[in-house]
Structures are given as structure tokens and as C-alpha cells.
Copies of this chain bind each other. A is one copy, B any other.
Amino acid sequence: MNSSTYSRNRERVIAVAADLFARNGYHGTGIAELGKAVGLGRGALYHYIESKEALLYYISKTQVDSMNAQAEQALRSGLPPEALLREMARRLLHNIATHQAEWAVFFRDYSALTGERRDKVIAARERYEGYWRQALDRGVEAEVLRPTPRLLVKGILGMLNYTYLWFEPDGELSSDELADEFMDALLDGIRSDPR
């Protein structure tokens, strides 16, 4: 087996695991079940993955790392603060919309990770939150946004992250449109007559 076949098979094992974990929970999915779903015996399966927990780590970490890379790129892009926030919201909702199973696994089960893996995922997650705080801070420095409490970042991320539970890819709004609606509400408020 050459290395690209190995990578392809590994990616397939991870994708199937994400679907199974999303459907039946991390704790509710056995290695035997995963092997059956991908058509591999236990030994062959462990050729691709170190452990069930390593799978959970890989599923969670990949998406958070991807969002961190995208946030770093957006922060470097020179966009003005409002456009930057909108861009970060669009990228997050697009990623969630296209990796709904992975995000479901992450949000439901990342707390099953232990030791160094758990620490790394939490650190990556905090880094992402920090990028949102940077974007808000830039808006305050540019006098485009008012200073807001530190914890608001978690509220904004709750608004966006929670879409993993209900976003419908074929629904009334695209993920970009939804991100725009959410950012409109957040930027301008929902009063008819802004103060």
C-alpha cells in the first residue's frame, strides 16, 4: 500500500467515525462497530488509528485548527473591523455547515478527551476565542465598536456554534446569509429606534 492509499483509508476511517460518533455518541460507538462500518478488522483498523480517543482528538482538533488558521488569515488580511467580524462569522458558519458531524462530536464529546489531548483541544479553542476578542478590540480601537464585556465573546460564539444543532444546508438561508443576519443583529441591535 503506498502512502496516498494509506492517507485515503485513514481519512475514510476518520469520516466514518465522525458520522458514527455524531449519531450514537462517542461512548456509544464501539471499535468493533467502526471496523464493521469501514469493512476492516480490528488489527487493520489499528493500522490507521492509534485508539478510539485518538480518533475523537483528530476529529475535534482538525476543525478547531482549521478555524484558527482561517481566523489568523482574516486578522492578517487588513479588513476593517466590521468586515473582519463578518468574515470570521461567515467562515465559522461555513465550516460548521460543511462539517456538521465533526462539530456535533466536538461539542458533545470533547470532554471525553483526557490528558495532553484534552489540554491541546482546549488550548486551540481558547486561541480561537482570543482571535474573536482581537477582532472586537480592533473595532474598539478604531472607534467603530463600543467596549463590551469580555464574556460577550462567548455569547457570540454560542450564537454561531450552536448552529451545528439546527442548520439545514438546504434551508431558507445559506450559511453566509445566516452569518450576515446574526452579525446585523449583533452590530446594530434589534431596537426599531436605536439609541
Are A190 and B148 neighbours in the complex by a CB distance under 8 Å?
Answer: yes
Q: Choose, from A34-42, A63-71, A149-157, the stretch at the interface.
A: A149-157
Q: Which of B136, B139, B146, B159 contacts A159 (CB 8 A)?
A: B159
Are B191 and A178 neighbours in the complex by a CB distance under 8 Å?
Answer: no
Interface size on A, residues (CB 8 A): 47
> In whole angstroms, how far apart are the Cα atoms of A148 and B173 in the complex?
14
Are B28 and A145 neighbours in the complex by a CB distance under 8 Å?
Answer: no
> In whole angstroms, how far apart are the Cα atoms of A144 and B193 in the complex?
7
* A32 interface hit (Cβ, 8 Å): no
Count chain B CB atoms within 10 A of each CB in A140, A143, A154, A195 and give the residue with the most.
A154
Are A146 and B108 neighbours in the complex by a CB distance under 8 Å?
Answer: no
> In whole angstroms, how far apart are the Cα atoms of A144 and B94 in the complex?
32
Q: Which of B108, B156, B173, B192 contacts A109 (CB 8 A)?
A: B108
* Closest chain B CB from A160 CB (angstroms): 7
* A194 interface hit (Cβ, 8 Å): yes
* A24 interface hit (Cβ, 8 Å): yes
